[in-house]
Amino acid sequence: MRRRPAARTPLRWAALVLGPAVLLAAACSREPAPRAAAPAPLPAEDAATEVTTALVRRGEIATRVVAPGSLFPKRESRIGTEVTGRIERVLVSVGDRVEAGAPLFQIDRTNYEAALAQAEAGLALARAQRVQQEADAARARTMHEKGVLSPQQRDRITTALAVSRAQEQQAQQAVTVARRNLERTTVRAPYAGSIAERLADEGTTALTQPQTIVLVLQETELLEARVAIPETHLSLVRPGDRAALFVEGVAEPVTTSVFAVSDSIDPATRTYLVRMDVPNGDRRLKAGVFARVEIAPKARSGALVVPIDAVRSEDGETRVYVVQGGLAVAVPVKIGVTGDRTAEVLSGVEEGAEVIVGESARTVAPGMRVRSKPAEGAPA
């Protein structure tokens, strides 16, 4: 009897169908996955940022001190009278230019002319008495030599002569005083200048105690610039330093020099006063005008300096960036005098250190890898 083949179960059928696929998947899983191509490493120089550098060096440092100031008359006098009396005439007005010795105002002369005449009369009387006493003394010596006059009488006549001579001298002094008082009734300018104020008019009784001020006279051909300099510049400005004054409305700066530097600091403003003579022969400048003053102290040599564009101020700290081992390193520094192109370094870096300058100094960050390029004109 012929046997029928056994029927295939669903499990065997699945194995027959899925077997090749499973084997193919397993084979595929054993093949390595493709990798992305790794970038080639960059050379070290290409990774560094090129920066401009310069060396810390010894050199000359010059700076300018700029401060506001004002112009004052070199001299200013409040002119009154030395004798009491009624003001008869005021001979000048505000703005008038007067020369030294020019009459300014006149006090009534009447009383002083009378006083002079009286003093001269007293002098004439004293002189006559002295002449008479000299004649008496001469006769007394002759009589004494002949034995007619006693020594006591002779001495009395000699003493009277000495008294008369003293009285004559006293009378002479009275004449001198009276003549001087008469001269003082005409008040004259003590120096050439301009009338700034007129404080009294004709008819006013001028007194000497307290003195009546009639006019204010200012010297204007030579003015004085006064400038308050901050105490941070205490060691900079010295007598003889050149200066330039810039005045509104005057095209060219006025050149001058410092003639006086105050030895004390104003505790309220923390400034000290510097003075400069300002020639004003053409009188184009006016007392009281504002001026911007630029003082150029004498350059100091041997200072440790860096280019001014190497200095950065950040977070309340002043620093420079130094190249060390190919890295930018921030170094705190203390700056002294600053000039137009350089700054004095008081501490923080030493001579020969390589600092980053220019635009590079403003963009570099601490720890950044850098490649140096010497600044144009700087030593290698």
- In 10 A of CB 36, how many CB atoms? 5
What CATH number did the domain enclosing 155 receive?
1.10.287
Structure tokens at 372: 């140096």
| Comparison of pLDDT for 64 and 356, the residue scoring more | 356
- Return the pLDDT at 377: 57
Listed residues 259, 278, 299: the one ending a domain: 299
DSSP 336: E
Kindly report, residue by residue over 288-326, the tens digit of the pLDDT: 899 999 998 888 788 899 999 999 988 889 999 999 999
Kindly report, residue by residue over 167-184, the tens digit of the pLDDT: 999 999 999 999 999 999
Does pLDDT of 163 surpass 80? yes
28 belongs to a structural domain: no
Q: At CA 202, angle to CA 200 and CA 203, rounded to 5?
A: 105
What CATH number did the domain enclosing 56 receive?
2.40.420.20
Residues 147 and 274 reside in one and the same domain: no
Listed residues 282, 299, 316: the one ending a domain: 299
By mean pLDDT, which of 7-11, 63-67, 229-233, 255-259 is the weakest? 7-11
Residues 87 and 196 reside in one and the same domain: yes
Does pLDDT of 268 surpass 90? yes
What is the residue range of 152's domain? 110-183
- Return the pLDDT at 147: 79
For the chain, the C-alpha Rg in angstroms (whole number) is 51
Instruction: Out of 37-51, 92-106, 273-287, give the one with best mean pLDDT.
Output: 92-106
**Measured distance CA(325)–CA(343) in Å, rounded:** 25
- Return the pLDDT at 87: 96
237's CB contacts (< 8 A; 6+ apart) are 65, 229, 258, 261, 274, 295, 297
By mean pLDDT, which of 162-171, 228-237, 305-314, 360-369 is the weakest? 228-237
- Return the pLDDT at 22: 40
Does pLDDT of 45 surpass 60? no
Residues 94 and 207 reside in one and the same domain: yes
Does pLDDT of 33 surpass 70? no
E-state strands within 266-369: 271-279, 290-296, 300-307, 312-314, 317-324, 327-332, 334-338, 342-347, 354-356
Kindly report, residue by residue over 185-201, the tens digit of the pLDDT: 999 999 999 999 999 99
- Of the candidates 70, 104, 73, the one whose C-alpha atom is nearest the C-alpha of residue 220 is 73
DSSP 367: T
Number of independent structural domains in the chain: 4
**Measured distance CA(108)–CA(118) in Å, rounded:** 18
Where does residue 91 fall: left (phi above 0), alpha (psi -120 to 50 degrees), or beta otherwise?
alpha
247 belongs to a structural domain: yes
Residue with tokens 């007394």: 140
Write down the mean pLDDT value for the chain: 85
2 belongs to a structural domain: no
Does pLDDT of 204 surpass 60? yes
- Return the pLDDT at 46: 55
Listed residues 284, 299, 314: the one ending a domain: 299
Kindly report, residue by residue over 88-139, the tens digit of the pLDDT: 999 999 999 999 999 999 999 999 999 999 999 999 999 999 999 888 888 8
Overall average pLDDT of the 328-348 stretch: 89
- Return the pLDDT at 234: 77
13 belongs to a structural domain: no
**Measured distance CA(185)–CA(119) in Å, rounded:** 17
Q: 67 with 229: CB under 8 angstroms?
A: yes
- Of the candidates 80, 319, 318, the one whose C-alpha atom is nearest the C-alpha of residue 204 is 80
Residues 80 and 213 reside in one and the same domain: yes
Return the amino acid letter for 217.
L
**Measured distance CA(319)–CA(106) in Å, rounded:** 71
Return the amino acid letter for 250.
V
Kindly report, residue by residue over 348-364, the tens digit of the pLDDT: 999 999 999 999 899 99
- Return the pLDDT at 167: 93
| Comparison of pLDDT for 2 and 156, the residue scoring more | 156
**Measured distance CA(228)–CA(262) in Å, rounded:** 10
pLDDT band per the 50, 70, 90 thresholds, residue 375: confident
**Measured distance CA(351)–CA(108) in Å, rounded:** 79
